[in-house]
A and B are shown apart, each in its own frame.
Chain A
Amino acid sequence: MREEEALTVSQINNRIRDVINMGFSQTVWICGEIQGYNRNKDRSHIFFELCEKDPVAKTIIARVGLVIFSTRKSYIQDVLKCSENAFELKDDIEVKFLCKVDFYPPHGAIRLLVEGIDPVYTLGKIAQDRQRLIAKLKKEGILEKNKGLPLPLVPLRIGLITAYDSAAYNDFMSELQLSGWGFQVYFMKALMQGKGAQADVCRALKELDRMDTVEVIVITRGGGSIAELSCFDSEQIAVTISQCTKPVISGIGHEINVTVTDLAAHTFQKTPTATAQFLVERVSDFLASLTELGIELVRLAQGRLDKENKRLQSGAFQLQSHTHHYLKDHHQVISRFMEMLKRLPRKLLHNEQLTAERRKDLLVKTLRERLKDALTKIQHIERMIEIAHPINTIRRGFSITRTETGKILRSVAQLNEGTAIRTQLADGVLDSQVIGVMKEAQSERCQI
């Protein structure tokens, strides 16, 4: 190579610049992900990079340096502010810049000079990512898990996840205090924006979920741009919420879009204040329902008591009437006894009287018969006696001889010679004296 043909570095750089300026005479729109912005954002000229990642492997396949000059900074910020959902430039977000391609000879490097920005692109990207994520989580059932948990009737012990000493914290706490109910808040501070927010929120969720006393977990923060809130469009947070055993209530300040965290939560509210109000209302509703239940309970109890009272009253009346009937039956039995007692002894006495009469009659009859018999007997005897009377015998020729002493003489042995004897005949007596005694044989005496 000849010496005169050699170029200085300046010369070559200037030539490169000329070629580039010729090739990129117009500004161009460039899309990519911001890198290295955050650490330079406070400088007057902000140097950073845009990169392109492999859609599958997520490795960087191309990068280019950019610069926002101080003269362009406020313009860019104005464009962002004017767009409907303002977001800030920061690392990791997809942006679309209007750039002038420039080669800076002192550094020998290509720089894209940022001239303008299209916020719609970033918002669209965020929305797209979000929609994709939502569809995936829905399919996996992660969005429904926490909704299946029962929300306590009286959620007084609250696990709170928010940024330390933030407006959200103060709003939430003052709203709870205003209610006057005895809320207990277990505060777990966490980053609520930026790259570290997802992991921090997940850590706080897990810690609060482990605490037995916590009944419900609240994730809340104040309002912000869509880009700011995009950390809550997080699969990691959604999955952690789905694994929680306690209902999670999100109150992530936003007006238009709902974050994935909101969708995965049991319930979502718009602001920290609204979230606190939701819990307060839950408690108030419970108290109101308690009052209603109390009234209903008293009414039911009263009704039941009235019913039982009536039943007992009717039972008591029945008891009285049954007793009355029962005793009436006994009364009748006793009355019957009385009647029988009046009647029966008289009957018995009457019967006895009749028997006595009958006996008397029988006695009289018997006596009469006896007397008659006796009379007959007597008459018979009389006749017999009449027949047997000695006088009659005497009249037939027999006589009775007696000794001097009057003894009837039956044997000659009673006599001696010379004994005086008196013999009775039918018409008188004669006295004699024994002149001889001859004893006869027994049979001969009998013949006499």
Chain B
Amino acid sequence: VKDVKYSQAVKRLDEIIRKIEGEEIDVDELAEKVKEAVELIQVCKAKIEKAELEVKNVVEGFTQEATNV
């Protein structure tokens, strides 16, 4: 799950949600799917936070460099 791409993760989440919503999922599998979905959500959240932090650092680093010039 950790190696999954963000867009793939979102796609997978969509799929799981749709299946749960459409009640296409077997109760036996439900817990497993929910577990997978939660894991995916955590991965996505981590990716978003990481991206935001990196962008912030890069921009701050750049603007600092720019003011020093």
Residues of B with C-beta under 8 A to A338: 38, 41
Partner of B13, one of A319, A337, A345: A337
B48 touches A319 (CB 8 A): no
Within B22-40, the residues touching A (CB, 8 Å) are: 23, 25, 27, 30, 34, 37-38, 40
A341 touches B38 (CB 8 A): yes
For the complex formed, measure the closest distance between the CB of A309 and the CB atoms of chain B, giving whole angstroms: 5
B51 touches A327 (CB 8 A): yes
Chain B residue nearest to A351 (CB atoms) is B23
Question: Known contacts A305-B69, A320-B56, A323-B55; is A337 also within 8 Å of B30 by CB?
Answer: no
Interface residues on chain A, number (Cβ under 8 Å): 25
Question: Known contacts A309-B69, A320-B56, A337-B37; is A331 also within 8 Å of B45 by CB?
Answer: yes
Chain A residue nearest to B20 (CB atoms) is A344
Query: A349 at interface (Cβ–Cβ under 8 A)?
Result: yes
Q: Complex Cα distance A186/B35, Å?
A: 95
Q: Complex Cα distance A317/B52, Å?
A: 13
B66 touches A312 (CB 8 A): yes
- Taken residue by residue from 51 to 67, chain B's Cβ proximity to chain A (1 for < 8 Å, 0 otherwise) reads as 11001100100110011
Question: Known contacts A316-B59, A327-B48, A327-B51; is A352 also within 8 Å of B41 by CB?
Answer: no
Partner of B30, one of A305, A316, A340, A348: A348
Query: B21 at interface (Cβ–Cβ under 8 A)?
Result: yes
Chain A residue nearest to B56 (CB atoms) is A320
Within A320-379, the residues touching B (CB, 8 Å) are: 320, 323-324, 327, 330-331, 333-334, 337-338, 340-341, 344-345, 348-349, 351-352
Interface residues on chain B, number (Cβ under 8 Å): 30
Give the number of residue pairs across the A-B interface with Cβ within 8 Å.
76
Question: Known contacts A331-B45, A352-B27; is A313 also within 8 Å of B63 by CB?
Answer: yes
Q: Complex Cα distance A344/B45, Å?
A: 20
Residues of B with C-beta under 8 A to A323: 51-52, 55
Q: Complex Cα distance A227/B25, Å?
A: 123
Question: Known contacts A334-B45, A341-B34, A345-B20; is A320 also within 8 Å of B27 by CB?
Answer: no
Within A271-328, the residues touching B (CB, 8 Å) are: 305, 309, 312-313, 316-317, 319-320, 323-324, 327
A344 touches B48 (CB 8 A): no
- Taken residue by residue from 193 to 210, chain A's Cβ proximity to chain B (1 for < 8 Å, 0 otherwise) reads as 000000000000000000
Partner of A344, one of B17, B59, B62: B17
A313 touches B66 (CB 8 A): yes
For the complex formed, measure the closest distance between the CB of A201 and the CB atoms of chain B, giving whole angstroms: 60
B41 touches A349 (CB 8 A): no
Chain B residue nearest to A317 (CB atoms) is B59
Residues of B with C-beta under 8 A to A317: 59, 63
Residues of A with C-beta under 8 A to B14: 337
B21 touches A345 (CB 8 A): no
Residues of A with C-beta under 8 A to B27: 348-349, 352
Q: Complex Cα distance A304/B17, Å?
A: 53
B30 touches A345 (CB 8 A): yes
Residues of A with C-beta under 8 A to B51: 323, 327
A341 touches B63 (CB 8 A): no
A324 touches B45 (CB 8 A): no
Partner of A319, one of B6, B20, B40, B55: B55
For the complex formed, measure the closest distance between the CB of B67 and the CB atoms of chain A, giving whole angstroms: 8
Rank and list the top 3 A-B pairs by shortest CB-CB distance, nearest first.
Answer: A344-B20, A323-B55, A316-B59
Contacts A341-B38, A349-B27 aside, 5 further interface pairs with beta carbons under 8 A come to A312-B66, A330-B6, A337-B40, A341-B17, A344-B21
Show 30 A/B contacts (Cβ-Cβ < 8 Å), sorted by A: A312-B66, A313-B63, A316-B59, A316-B62, A316-B66, A317-B59, A317-B63, A319-B55, A319-B59, A320-B55, A320-B59, A323-B52, A323-B55, A324-B55, A327-B48, A330-B10, A330-B48, A331-B45, A334-B10, A334-B13, A334-B41, A334-B44, A340-B20, A340-B21, A341-B41, A344-B17, A344-B21, A345-B30, A351-B23, A352-B23
Interface residues of B (CB under 8 A from A): 6, 10, 13-14, 16-17, 20-21, 23, 25, 27, 30, 34, 37-38, 40-41, 44-45, 48, 51-52, 55-56, 59, 62-63, 66-67, 69
